[in-house]
Chains A and B, each alone.
Chain A
Amino acid sequence: MALLTLRGLTKRFGGLPAVDGIDLDVDTGEIVALIGPNGAGKTTLLSLVAGIVPPTACTTFRFGDRDLVGAAVHEVRHAGIGTVRQAPTRFPSMSVREEVAVGARFGRAETLDHRTALHRADEVLDLVGLREQAAAPVTSLTLHGTRLLGLARALAGRPDLLLLDEPMAGLTPGELEHAIALIRALRDEHGLTVLWVEHVMPAVDLLAERVVVMDVGRVLAEGDPAEVRRDPAVIAAYLGVPDAGPAGWAGAPGAAPSEEGGPRAGGA
């Protein structure tokens, strides 16, 4: 059955539709990749679901048995949707363990106590492979480390659905392999559902069970990766363009900053 149901989701920025009447269903346990050329509206769609950006119009936004039309960011989080943005925002005054513990403490409507939150943080840090950096300041992490931190903070709040915005962009081949294995394990072993924006096509081929292609705010095509690859409309709109990398989302206020503006740590 559908875990997430969206109908007529629309966002206009000054008359210009960034997301234009999207209908989307995501079933429990699915890994769905959201692809499309720059400016297609993918990040805006994730921001709408996360509650960061209020929609211009939305007839249905159901998650499980919850109606989330007009819900605030923390209400979406409490319903069980964990969001990791492309340039993950951090709590610069905290250690890795503390930041993840914040996610554990407040991730659900019922606030966890001090000790339980820290314990939960340690479990999640083990899961994503950041345990050794637990005591390090969050500002000391590499790009991949920062993404893992964002993921850990989201996971610590015990989500049912993960929204990931370009988690693979800019990773080394080794890091990419780790990220792919991690997301697969989250679904296979922890039962999470994943809706995921990605530009790195090899990762999409390896991981996605269903691909939704967006262009100018609409769904252009959807299906399994191989099927979508053969779609002439998709080839014209997107695949003809060589991997442009995770560039900024021009014209979309509030969208994630470009890679150049994102956190970058000089990893040795």
Chain B
Amino acid sequence: MSLLDSAVTGAPLERREGLLRGYLPVVLAVLVLGLVPPLAGGSRYLVSVATLLVVLVTYGVAFNVVFGGTGQLLLCIGALAAVAAYTSALLSGELGWPLAITLPLGVALATTGGAALSWLAVRRRLDTIFVGVVTLTASLVVHNLLLGRRELTGGETGLVVQAGSGTALRDPVLGYYAVLALLAVGLAGHRAIQRSALGWAFRAIRDDAEAAALAGIDVARTKVLAAAVASALAGAAGSLYAHVEGFVSPTTFAFATVDVRVIVAVAFGGLGTLLGPVVGGVVVTLLDEVLRPLGQLRLAVYGAVLLVLFLAVPRGAVPAVGWSWHRATARWRGRGTSPAGGR
């Protein structure tokens, strides 16, 4: 029960499980996702869908850290992934630099970009909606640069990623495990943050930034740090995906492709919860497959789903299920109490 509480609804600050219990949800989630290739029975299609799912979940973890953690509505996860992916693909493809250099370079560029946007927002004291507007604008700038610098990026046709061909990344199953390994790092990192003083600072800032500052928390530094961590993870996921797929286009990282899905997934899974992005990502991927015949109209369905989610279960469907489950089992055990701390 407390496993479900801590993994899904976010544990009370004061309770901190031992190492084993604390990281068990991460291990379980990664193990379950690791079973996909053997269960797919050699289906390239299923493995490719699963790869996209794991990348989406990784983006979700990044968004969850920065928005769920510190309340910064960073609407440029796709753009940050694009910056890292195109940097690595172009430097390796055009100049022949090794991936070992261009991958970290791309991630560093995305990290700097995300941190700079956050720093700007903190300096200008932008509220949540304005951070959203600024970062969405940055997204559109990146998107249009990719479309416009045709001679470099191939425009909307996209770019065949030369680098990485012939490496293990191009093997569908090994590529899948590579993105899964990154997700494991992301989830474990999120858990480590939740267990540390930084996690306390996140909770306090998300609750009330002014009160957090009065309590002695360096709000500006913490917010920029959260944005940097999220940008690094999003960048790493984007560029890894580019080299696994062997192809990138502006659509791969477009707002409608990445950010909308990420928001729906995290909102469904439960903002700020460790496993929210995993559960939400699975649901969004299934939704995607079901809605495929609708084409672009899928976005309208996403909008409707998002509306219903925010109105009906503002803290996410999964925490809601967690609470109902807790209440039901508590009654069943003859104890009608709600979990301490109300979370």
Contacts and interface: CB of A to CB of B under 8 A. Distances in A.
**B partners with A:** yes
Interface of A: 50, 52, 72-74, 77-78, 83, 85, 88-95, 97-98, 101-103, 105-108, 111, 113-114, 118, 135, 137, 153-154, 157
Contacts of B340: 95, 135
Contacts, number: 98
B327 to A, nearest CB: 16
B207 A94 contact: yes
Nearest to A139: B342
B125 to A, nearest CB: 11
B213 A73 contact: yes
A101 B13 contact: yes
A77 B12 contact: no
B14 A83 contact: no
Nearest to A121: B14
A135 to B, nearest CB: 6
Nearest to B219: A74
A142 B201 CA distance: 25
A52 B210 CA distance: 8
Nearest to A50: B214
B343 A77 contact: no
Contacts of B220: 72
B208 interface: yes
Given A90-B207, A105-B200, A106-B201, A95 B12 contact: yes
Contact of A89 (B16, B210, B216): B210
B217 A93 contact: no
B216 A90 contact: no
Interface residues of B, number: 27
A90 B212 CA distance: 9
A106 B14 contact: no
B140 interface: no
A103 B204 CA distance: 10
Nearest to A98: B13
A103 B216 contact: yes
25 contacts: A52-B210, A52-B214, A73-B210, A73-B214, A89-B211, A91-B203, A93-B342, A93-B343, A94-B13, A94-B207, A94-B341, A95-B14, A97-B14, A98-B14, A102-B13, A102-B217, A106-B201, A106-B204, A135-B340, A135-B341, A137-B342, A153-B215, A154-B214, A157-B215, A157-B216
Interface string B130-164: 00000000000000000000000000000000000
B301 interface: no
B210 A95 contact: no
Contacts of A85: 214
